[in-house]
Structure 1
Amino acid sequence: MKKRVLSVIALLLSLAMFVVGCSSGSKSEESAEKAESAGDKSGAITVAYKAAPPNLDSDQSTDWTVTAVMNHVYEGLYEFNASSEAVPHLAKSCDIENDGKTYVFHLREGVLFHDGSEMKAEDVKASFDRWFAVNEMGISVSEYVDSVDVVDDYTVSVKLNSVYAPFLNVIASPTSNQKMVVRPASLIEKYGNDVLEEHIGTGPYKFDSWVPDASVKLVKFDDYVPVEGEASGFAGKRVAYANEINIQFVTDESVRISGLETGEFMFAEEISQDKYSQVESSENTVPQIMDSDVEGMLTFNCGAAPFDDLNARKAVAIGLDLEELATAQIGDENFWSLDGCLFDKSTVWYDEKAGEGVYAKNDLELAKEYLAKSDYNGEPVVIVQGKDDNVESQGAEDLRSQLEKIGFNVEVELYDRATVMEKRSQKEGWAIHLAYFSVWNADPQVWSAWVGTNGWITNWDDENSKKMDEIFAKMLVELDQDARYKLVQDWYNTFWEYVPYVKTIDYSRMNATNAKLQGYANYCQPFFWNTWVEE
C-alpha cells in the first residue's frame, strides 16, 4: 500500500515541477459585461507560444504546450475553477458511494463531439480505460481501480479498491499529462494506445490542422454545448467568439514582442521581466503577470550536519530577511511577494496564518540564539546552485551574506544544471539548495513527496518526518472537505515547526496581450474561449 501511494505522489511531484502557475482570480464578470456590449467578435485570434509540442496527444506527453493547445478541443468530466475546486463540467454530478470507493458520474445529456455524435457513457468508459493505460497519472491511479462500468447511456461507475481522496482533483487537474479528457470511443478504438493523429473532442474549438514546429489551427465548433454557470478558471461557461484560433510557435522573444506590438499576435507567451517597462509603456500591449506563479524554497539537507539539527534550521528560518533575498533574486516588486502559505490565497487550501511566528520574522538576535543551542561547530555550509541561472546565483550570494551574519561559515558552489542535480541528489557534500516549485498543484497530497520522510532531496528521516507522514496518510483517505482542510492546516503548522524547507518568496512570470484582445483570463495556462478582438 505504501509503495503504490508513493508512486502516485512521486508522479504528481515530477509533473507539478513543470506546470505553469495559476493566476489568483477570475475576470469572468468583467469579461461577460464587455462581451455583451461589444460588436462583432468573430475575427481570428493569432497567438505566439514560445515552443512547439512534440505531438498533440495530452495522454502521451508532459509538455505543457500540448495541454495549453488542446484544452480548447478536449474537456474533462470535472474542471478546476479559480479557487482550485474540481467542479462538474461534462459530468453534471458525481455520487461518492461505498465509503468513498465508488464514484458514480452522471453525464450531461446532449453534449456533442466534433463529429456530430453525442457523448455517452461508452465514450467516457473508453476514455477512462485509455487514460489508465497510457497517461502517466492514469497509470498510477489505475492501481486503485477495480473497474469502470457503464450503468446506462448517461451514467458511469468507477469502483476503487481503496479510498483515494484526490481522485476528482486528479482527473480535473490542468497539470500536463494528468487530466482525464473525454474522447469518442470510436477514435480510441482506431488508435488504441498509439499517439493520436486525429482529434475529436467536445470543446468550443475543433482541431483543423497542425504544421509540426510551426503552427496549429483551431476553428469554432458551431454546435458546442456549453455548461451553464459563470466562467471561473477552467470551469463554467465557455463561449467561442472567434471563428479561428491560430497558434504560432515562435522561439525568438523579440519576434513575439514585435508581433504583439504590430497586432500580428494578440498574445505572446513568456516575456522576460526586464521587458516589463517596454510592454507596460506601449499603448498597444498589456503585461499579464501571473500572480504567485512560482514559490521559492530554501531546501535543507536534513540528513547531514549542520541541518540535521532542528535548531540550526530554525536559525536560518527566523534570521532571514526575505525582502532582501527577493530583491537580490528578482528585483522588481511587481514580480514578487511574501506569504507563508504553501497554497495561493485564491485556493480553498489557503491559510493566512500559515508560518505565523516563523515566516519572514527577520529576527537576527533570535536566530543567533537558536544557532547557539544547536550542535553547529563551524563546519562549512555549502550552498549548491546553477551558475547559468541569475535567480539562483544572485540568491546564493545574498544568502551567503545573510547566513554569515547569523554565524554560519558559508561556501557557495555554482555548477552547470546537470552537476547541480547530481550534487543535490547526494546525502553529503551540500547543505542548502534554493529551489523553485510551481504554485499550481492539483491537490495538497502532492506535497508528501517533497516534505515527508526522505521527501525529494531533503534526506529528512527522523521522528519529526514521521509526524509529517502521518498527516499525509490521513489526508489520502479523508473525503470531507472541511476535515481535509484541517489536516492541511496541521500540515502547514508541522511544516513550519520542523522546517525541512524555508519557503522564501512567491514570484511571477509574465505573458503579454495586444490591447485589442478582450476577455483574456490570466489563468494557469492561456486559453482563448471567452475572448475576442475589439477593432
Structure 2
Amino acid sequence: MHRRAFMIGAAAALAGTRGFAQPAIGGKTRTIIHVPQANLTSLDPVWTSALVTRNFANMVYETLYGRDEELNPRPLMLEGDLVEDGGRRWTMRLREGLVFHDGSPVLARDCVASLKRFFKRDAIGETIEARLDALEAADDRTLVWRLKKPFAQLPYALSKTQITPAIMPERLAQTDPFKQIGEVVGCGPFRFLPDEYVSGSRATFAKFDRYVPRNEPANFCAGGHRVLVDRVEWRIMPDAATAVNALVKGEVDWLDQPLPDLLPVLRKASGVSVGPIDIYGTYAVLRPNFLHGPTANAGVRRAILAAIDQVEVMTAVMGGDDSLYRAPVGFFLPGSPAASEAGMDAVRKRASAGAVQAMLREAGYAGERVVMMHPTDQTFYDAMSSVVAASLRNVGINLDEQSMDWGTVVQRRTNDAPLDKGGWSLFTTGAPAHEYRDPVFPAIQRTNGRRAWFGWPDDPKLDALRDKWMDSTDAAEQKKLAAEIQLAAFDFVPYVPLGQYFPPSAWRSNLSGILKGATPVFWNVEKV
C-alpha cells in the first residue's frame, strides 16, 4: 500500500479548513490590470487548448491536484489520497469547506461529473477513461477510482493546466462536452464577472471571499492560493506598441508576453520590471489538416517540414537573443528522458528549394491550394506564420494565406469541412513546453483520427507506440520507445516542430509576489 498524506489527522484538517484567511484590504479597491497574450473567446476550460483560456481557467476553477514550480503534482482540492491494489484503486478525499461561486458546496459527485466531461475532450482524459473500470462518489467528500491497469501519472494528469480538468457544479458538468457551457461557476480564488466581460475588450475577476487557501505557501499552482488584491482586470490590446506604452505610463500593471523587439524599451523604463515567469517556455508548432487538401498527404507534410528552418522561425519570434529560444527541437522537450537524436537530421538544416520541390513532385503535389490561417493579433504566432508562409511560397506551394485574429483561428480550426467550404490546411500555435516531456501528455501528438486534436491525424502505429510506452515501467525501454516514436513522427508528421521559446513578461515594479512556473497566476501577487 502506498500512502500520500491520506487522512493525516489534525494537520491535514488544518490545511483544508483553517488556512490563511483572505486578507481584508482597506481603503480603495486594489486592481491588477493585466494584458493577456490574446483575446479571450472561449470560457469553457475543456473546450479549447488556447493559452488564454488556460489562464482564464486557472483564475476561476481549481483542480484536484496542483503542480508546483518543479511540476510535481500536489493535493490542492484534496485532503489526501490513498493508492491500493497495486495502483489499480485510488481513493481521494476532498478538503472540508470547498464552496462554488454560486454558494453551493463542492461535492464528490461534482468532481465525478466534471472529470467525466474532461475525459471526452482531452487526449490524456481519453487515456484515463480507457483504463477506467469505475469512478464513483463514495460519499460527499470521497472519490473512488478503480482502474483496469495501474496509471502512476494520474495525479500529474489531474493537475493539467491546459484543457483543464476543472471542477464545476454537476449541473454544468452534465453539459454535452461538445457544446460550450453557458455559465462560469468555479471554486477557485477568483470569481468571473460576466456582466463586465466584453470579448475583444476586457474580462474582469473579483476575489472570492469564501475561498479558503491551503495553510502552506503558494508554489506555482500548488500550495495556498492567497489573493492579495480585490480585482483583476484583463485588457485586450492587440497592438503591441500600445500595450508597452500603457505599461510604461502605468496605465496597466502587467504584460503577459510583450513583443521581444520592445523589450529594450521596457528594460530602460522607470518603474518596470522584465523577467521570465514561464520558465519552461512554449513549444511552437505548425499543425496540418489530415482530412482534406494537400496536407492530408504525408509526403507533402514531410516536404513542408523540410522547407522550414526552425532557427529562422525562432529569430522572427524572439529577435536576435538566442538565449530566449531553442532550435532545432524534435518531438520531445530537450533534456527530458524522452528526448533523443533519433531522426533529428530532418530538422538540423533546411533542405534546398530544389530538394523540397522534388519531394513535392514525388508526393504527387500539383499546385493545389493550401489554406493557412494567419493570426495577426498574436505577436508570436504572427511572426511564425510569416516565416512559414514565405518558406512555403519559396518552394512553390500554392499558399492561400488568410489573415484573421487568434479568436477566429480558435473557432475556425474546429471546422472539418473541405477547403472550398471554409476548411483549412495549416495554422501555427504553441503549447506549454513541459507537456512534451513524454509521449503521454501532448494532445497534439495523439493520432487517433476523429478523436484527435484539431487536424484529426490517424496513424495507428504512433498511437500503439504511445500505449506501449505507457504500459512500460522500465526506463531504458521507455527511452527506446520514445526514440521509435520520434522516428515514426518524422515520417508521419503529426505536426511540424518550429522551436521552443521563452517569452519574458513585464510588470510594474509595485507588483510583488509574482510566482514562476509554466503560466501566469494571480494569487500571491500584491500591488502596493
| Same fold, TM-score > 0.5, yes or no | yes
Change (3 A) 1:282 1:63: same
Structure 2 residue corresponding to 1:439, chosen from 427, 432, 442? 432
Deviation at 1:295, TM superposition (A): 0.9
Counterpart contact for 2:389–2:399, Cα < 8 Å? yes
Deviation at 1:162, TM superposition (A): 6.7
Tell me the equivalent position of 2:512: 518
Tell me the equivalent position of 2:4: none
Structure 1 residue corresponding to 2:286, chosen from 285, 289, 297? 297
Counterpart contact for 1:145–1:161, Cα < 8 Å? yes
Cα distance in 1, alignment partners of residues 117 and 456 from structure 2:
33
TM-score between both structures, scaled by the size of structure 2 = 0.66
Cα distance in 1, alignment partners of residues 356 and 39 from structure 2:
53
Does 1:48 find its partner at 2:43? no
Tell me the equivalent position of 2:206: 218
Does 1:78 find its partner at 2:73? no
Deviation at 1:258, TM superposition (A): 4.4
Larger RCO (CA under 8 A, 6+ residues apart): 1
Structure 2 counterpart SS, 1:286: strand
Deviation at 1:382, TM superposition (A): 6.1
Cα distance in 2, alignment partners of residues 456 and 287 from structure 1:
34
Counterpart contact for 1:296–1:503, Cα < 8 Å? yes
Structure 2 residue corresponding to 1:127, chosen from 108, 111, 114? 111
Change (3 A) 1:128 1:303: closer
Counterpart contact for 1:78–1:89, Cα < 8 Å? yes
Structure 2 counterpart SS, 1:247: strand
Tell me the equivalent position of 1:233: 220
Deviation at 1:503, TM superposition (A): 1.7
Name stretches of at least 5 consecutive residues in structure 2 with no aligned partner. 1-23, 176-180, 377-381
Does 1:413 find its partner at 2:400? yes
Offset from partner CA, 1:349-403 (integer Å, 9 cap, x none): 65264654433145759x95995999468954865434674532443223443x4
Cα distance in 2, alignment partners of residues 62 and 456 from structure 1:
9
Cα distance in 2, alignment partners of residues 66 and 452 from structure 1:
24
Name stretches of at least 5 consecutive residues in structure 1 with no aligned partner. 1-39, 404-408
Structure 2 residue corresponding to 1:351, chosen from 323, 336, 339? 339
Structure 1 residue corresponding to 2:497, chosen from 497, 500, 503? 503
Structure 2 counterpart SS, 1:128: helix
Cα distance in 1, alignment partners of residues 342 and 42 from structure 2:
41
RMSD of equivalent CA atoms: 5.3
Cα distance in 1, alignment partners of residues 143 and 245 from structure 2:
49
Tell me the equivalent position of 1:474: 468
Structure 2 counterpart SS, 1:438: strand
Counterpart contact for 2:298–2:493, Cα < 8 Å? no
Counterpart contact for 1:329–1:394, Cα < 8 Å? no
Structure 1 counterpart SS, 2:440: helix
Deviation at 1:212, TM superposition (A): 2.1
TM-score between both structures, scaled by the size of structure 1 = 0.65
Cα distance in 1, alignment partners of residues 82 and 432 from structure 2:
30
Counterpart contact for 1:382–1:411, Cα < 8 Å? yes
Does 1:179 find its partner at 2:165? yes
Structure 1 counterpart SS, 2:348: coil
Tell me the equivalent position of 1:279: 266
Opposite residue 513 of structure 1, the aligned amino acid is W
Tell me the equivalent position of 1:396: 389
Tell me the equivalent position of 1:94: 81
Deviation at 1:491, TM superposition (A): 1.8
Change (3 A) 1:474 1:76: same
Aligned residues: 467
Deviation at 1:46, TM superposition (A): 1.4
Cα distance in 1, alignment partners of residues 68 and 424 from structure 2:
39
Structure 2 residue corresponding to 1:105, chosen from 92, 95, 120? 92
Deviation at 1:157, TM superposition (A): 0.9
Offset from partner CA, 1:410-466 (integer Å, 9 cap, x none): 444334569996899569xx99846334235497435576463657687977xxx44
Change (3 A) 1:275 1:309: closer
Change (3 A) 1:412 1:226: same
Counterpart contact for 1:280–1:286, Cα < 8 Å? yes
Structure 1 counterpart SS, 2:146: strand
Offset from partner CA, 1:218-272 (integer Å, 9 cap, x none): 33759834254x75431245444x2423324444656654443343432234444
Offset from partner CA, 1:302-330 (integer Å, 9 cap, x none): 999899576x8767756754323444566
Structure 1 counterpart SS, 2:92: strand
Counterpart contact for 2:135–2:145, Cα < 8 Å? yes
Counterpart contact for 1:344–1:439, Cα < 8 Å? no
Tell me the equivalent position of 2:230: 244
Structure 2 counterpart SS, 1:445: coil
Counterpart contact for 2:34–2:256, Cα < 8 Å? yes
Calculate percent identity across the aligned residue pairs.
15
Offset from partner CA, 1:23-62 (integer Å, 9 cap, x none): xxxxxxxxxxxxxxxxx99993512245786797757887
Counterpart contact for 1:105–1:157, Cα < 8 Å? yes
Change (3 A) 1:328 1:106: closer
